[in-house]
Chain A
Amino acid sequence: MRSLYDHRPSHAARDAHADLVLTNGRIYTGDPGLPWCQSLAVSGGRIVARGERADVEHLIGPQTRIKDLGGRFAMPGLYDMHTHPDLALAPRYAEDLDIGIVDPTPDQVRDAVLAYAARHPDREWIYGQYFVRYTFRQAGLVPGRDWLDNVLPDRPVALLDRMWGTMMVNSEALRRAGIGAETPDPPNGYLERDPISHEPTGLLIDGAYALIHAAMPPTPVPVLRAAYRDGVRYQSARGVVATKYVHVCENRLEALQTLDQAGELTLRVEAAISWQDDIFPVRRRWELLAGERHYYRSARLNANAVKFHFDGTVEPRSSYLMTPWDGANSAWRGKLNLTPEHLADMVWDMDRQGIRVIAHCTGDAASDTFLDAVEAARRRPGGLGVRHQCAHSTILHGGNLKRFRELNVTAEFSPVSWYPSKFVSGARSGYGPERLSRAYNIKGVLEAGGVAVVGTDWPVSPLDPWIALETMVTRANPWGETEGRFGEPISLTQAIDVMTRNGAWSMGIEHEAGTLEIGKSADIIVLDRNLFEIEPQGNIHSTRVDLTFMQGQLVHDRLDAASEAIWHGEAPKLW
């Protein structure tokens, strides 16, 4: 098994022969100097020769594994530069209380809580779903701390209602969260209170959940590890060789490290530490940023990035825009979550530590303000010129397209609504026709000389990178569900660049990965179809990845269950 500490000292003798030779392929290298070849030789995880079979013949020794691709198409592995398998999958492994009844009566809720508590004597909190308010009313009962205290007084309990609008907690949960009559309400929710005494009744609405979540233990490492393992397995099976897990905490890094140590981290991961506690609390944020993150570093894993939400999203109309959302009807332009001054100092401070800033910017005024902050950081002393990343880049101002190149900032796009679908019909009305016409302007960034990358942003869009690749080329619905095209397509070679070499650039590893060139990492995928010989629409997204090589190691093998690959068979169904 590959070990984290595998390393060839730079003065150690090189093996005269290759570890691996791929022959008889139709290999697209992504290198304009030699776009196509039939054979590749790999030694020490790197490509050492390429060309015809004759060009690699001299590297074949007795220990060399030879893989005949049988004329199949191969290319550099894909880069998914923004995604969240942990957020999508951890709840499946958390084994929280699930009452499992559409409309449980209060008695059924009580029984389920007590049974769960008995089954999990070591669980500090009893957390789960669902209760419904109307069955309480039907029974003449009032849901809240008093009712729940009668069920279980001595362990903290928090239950969500089916509409996800209300959380019912007992007094012990309130006590641990430090919630009392004096606790102020959060702006996006409230604590239901006794009107006279102002004591919380134990019902928390919307944003008030966060007060309880903050007091709960973080998601345990084994749960996160199981979630990441599924995500990594899926990504390897779909040909992803490098990814950014955007939003991590100390537990998430630990989970990734245990996978790495087990040899199951079969792709490169750049993990971005959350700058805010809005998704989950990061208890060791400042230690991690000050240097603790290096303890997780390996050839596959680094945490040299931070992520934060600079503005909101389209549906609650909280994207921060240059012009009012609703034309002449109101002045509402959305909002920023951090002051521009906070951002400017933070970008510069992170930059001088070599930490990449990944900023969620959906509105054109958010990305504009972010680019301003990077520009200011570039002028201040001590900066290292880190390639920061504008995440989502949903609506960009035309005047900012060229600034991505000028400032060395990555424009990251997620495919959630760059092709027509039911979802986009909703989003379309949200942003309005003028803004929609320039949404997801991948072509605009590329034409201005900038670097665009793709992030699937799962669970917002599917984790499958091939949907993104197809729809960048077609800007049409891959399944023919919705007519028409949306936005400006780019060519297939441009789209492959976006999902390979541009990803490597955005991770700062373009000199060692992203294309199939001599000296670069052998991150190679072998497909069941030649992307250049098929009609893109309806066909690229269903591409199957037969083999995935990561640093020359076979990590995924779709067809041969007996091979030495880490993962075998089709990609697991995750949604």
Chain B
Amino acid sequence: MVTRQARPIPVTVIGGFLGAGKTTLVNHILGGDHELKIAVMVNDFGAINIDAALITSTEGGLYSLSNGCVCCGLNQGLVEQLEELLSARIDIDHIVIEASGVADPARIMDTVRYARFAGRLRGDAIVVLVDAAGFDGAIAAAPGLAEAQVGSADLLILNKTDLVSRDTLDAWHARWAFPDTRTIETTNARVPFDLLFASGFPSRGASSPFTAVPVHEQAESITWRHDGPIDAKRLHGVLAALPARIYRAKGFVQASDGRLFAVHVVGTRVSFEPAAHLPEGFDGQSLLVLVGFGRDLPFEGVLAQLNGCGALARSGKKGSA
């Protein structure tokens, strides 16, 4: 009997209309240097450009690549294929599912979140690519669909920005960016891996509780720690309304009722998963790593709000950072 991973495997669904750049992004992930073992389920295997020299083995339609990734075509029921992947591979860090260009990626995420996968899979994010030059064409080709795809995005990748003017991009944002939308502008679907896949926790020995660490030329992260119990409901409210320039957060939270949650925020998706115990090296402390994108990120205000989530302890002592 294979022992399952203790923690659920995060799943990213990549959506977007035909020609938006999904396959290009998948190719980046398959060939990328992210040090993660990623299983990629692609909609059209023929369109994927895997360098034959990188394929180390092929077994049961699953191609293993030299960077630790595996790839397979999405060619049967999603439920069955996910079940198969979970039973075949125990060493996967992340699953990426490429949706068809004419599908609503939210429907795929719905399946990932079925009760049968509870504790085994975790919906990390729906990443939707938009062709900055072709969005109007997509709306004309499939009225309602392109809008629904954008509407289901936790992270939106406005791609092929080199093909249009700044004015066009601004007009697009004005028309389609929802109040809570996290948008990343890219060319050639070059999305920073730090935003696609959460990196690991910083080491315990960080000098200050508020350390801003540049993790990418444009991305910055900050760590928030809290020693006392947390009002989880209030924290959920803060995380659901983070400034749009903060793209990710992850960590552990010790709630005031004694429950322990693993917390993940990806764009607009906030999940609180009950956790059995803290990982090695954390003792009764709540901790969140927030990742933002751009300059002069409003971390200070967010940290103040997070500190405001400390529940009053029985003794009446206020929790402090």
Q: Which residues of B contact A429 (CB under 8 A)?
A: 75
Q: How far is the CA of A135 from the CA of B179 in the complex (A)?
A: 12
B-contacting residues, A281-330, CB 8 Å? 315-318, 325-326, 328-330
Q: Which residues of A contact B107 (CB under 8 A)?
A: 163, 165
A326 touches B61 (CB 8 A): yes
Of the residues A132, A138, A197, A316, contact of B77 by C-beta under 8 Å: A316
Of the residues B61, B111, B148, B273, contact of A162 by C-beta under 8 Å: B148
B178 touches A138 (CB 8 A): yes
The total number of A-B Cβ pairs within 8 Å is: 99
Q: Which residues of B contact A316 (CB under 8 A)?
A: 77, 79-80
Of the residues A184, A196, A315, contact of B233 by C-beta under 8 Å: A196
Residue A140 CB within 8 A of the other chain: yes
User: Taking A317-B80, A326-B76 as contacts, is the C-beta distance between A206 and B236 under 8 angstroms?
Assistant: no
A137 touches B151 (CB 8 A): yes
Q: Which residues of B contact A135 (CB under 8 A)?
A: 151
Q: Which residues of A contact B298 (CB under 8 A)?
A: none
Of the residues A140, A189, A195, contact of B114 by C-beta under 8 Å: A189
Residue A190 CB within 8 A of the other chain: yes
Q: How far is the CA of A318 from the CA of B79 in the complex (A)?
A: 11
Residue A359 CB within 8 A of the other chain: no
Q: Which residues of B contact A63 (CB under 8 A)?
A: none
Q: How far is the CA of A135 from the CA of B176 in the complex (A)?
A: 11
Could you list 5 A-B pairs, sorted by A, with CB under 8 Å?
Answer: A133-B106, A134-B152, A189-B115, A196-B236, A207-B114
Binding site for A on B (CB under 8 A): 60-61, 75-77, 79-80, 83-84, 88, 104, 106-107, 110-111, 113-116, 118, 143-144, 147-148, 150-152, 178-180, 232-233, 236, 255, 261, 270-273
Q: Which residues of A contact B80 (CB under 8 A)?
A: 316-317, 325, 330, 332
Binding site for B on A (CB under 8 A): 102-103, 132-135, 137-138, 140, 162-163, 165-166, 184-190, 195-197, 205-207, 315-318, 325-326, 328-330, 332, 429
Q: How far is the CA of A326 from the CA of B77 in the complex (A)?
A: 11
A186 touches B144 (CB 8 A): no
B76 touches A205 (CB 8 A): no
Q: How far is the CA of A325 from the CA of B80 in the complex (A)?
A: 11
User: Taking A165-B104, A190-B114, A329-B60 as contacts, is the C-beta distance between A134 and B147 under 8 angstroms?
Assistant: yes
CB distance from B254 to the nearest CB of A (A): 13
B148 touches A196 (CB 8 A): no
CB distance from A142 to the nearest CB of B (A): 9
B110 touches A206 (CB 8 A): yes
CB distance from A337 to the nearest CB of B (A): 15
Q: How far is the CA of A190 from the CA of B115 in the complex (A)?
A: 6
Q: How far is the CA of A332 from the CA of B79 in the complex (A)?
A: 11
Closest to B151 in A: A134
Closest to B257 in A: A196
